Amino acid sequence: MLPGSEDRGAVSSLVPHIARIRRLFPERADHVARLALKDETFRGLCEDYGMALEALFRLELRNHPLDVERLVEYRTLIRDLEQELREELGRTDPCAKPNAGNGGTA
């Protein structure tokens, strides 16, 4: 087995999840792909996000009144994961503008 090939196998099973993140952050799509290849923690975030979206979709399709609380929980989880992904991308993107949008002067 080639060095690093176990990482590629882990990434290949996450391709649909990573593609979702790339669509979520189209301006950072290239950075998402690079980070997913080298950062196991980021891959885990991508997987968590994708699995939460899939679970939400299944609950919405089921459309059962008893699932209302779970729907709210999944929507909250997805929103939290999106924020965590946004922060991780900002922290690791060499092209990100530091302090952008804070109104400060340089």
The Cα 51–Cα 45 span in angstroms is 10
CB–CB of 25/89 below 8 Å?
yes
The Cα 85–Cα 82 span in angstroms is 5
Q: Tell me what the mean pLDDT of segment 14-25 comes to.
A: 94
For the chain, the domains span 8-92
Checking if the pLDDT of 54 tops 90, the result is yes
pLDDT given at position 100: 43
36: left (phi over 0), alpha (psi -120 to 50) or beta: alpha
Write the DSSP string, 71-88.
HHHHHHHHHHHHHHHHHH
pLDDT digits (tens, 9 = 90+) for 20-49: 999 999 999 999 999 999 999 999 999 999
Tokens encoding 4: 């690093």
pLDDT digits (tens, 9 = 90+) for 57-92: 999 999 999 999 999 999 999 999 999 999 999 998
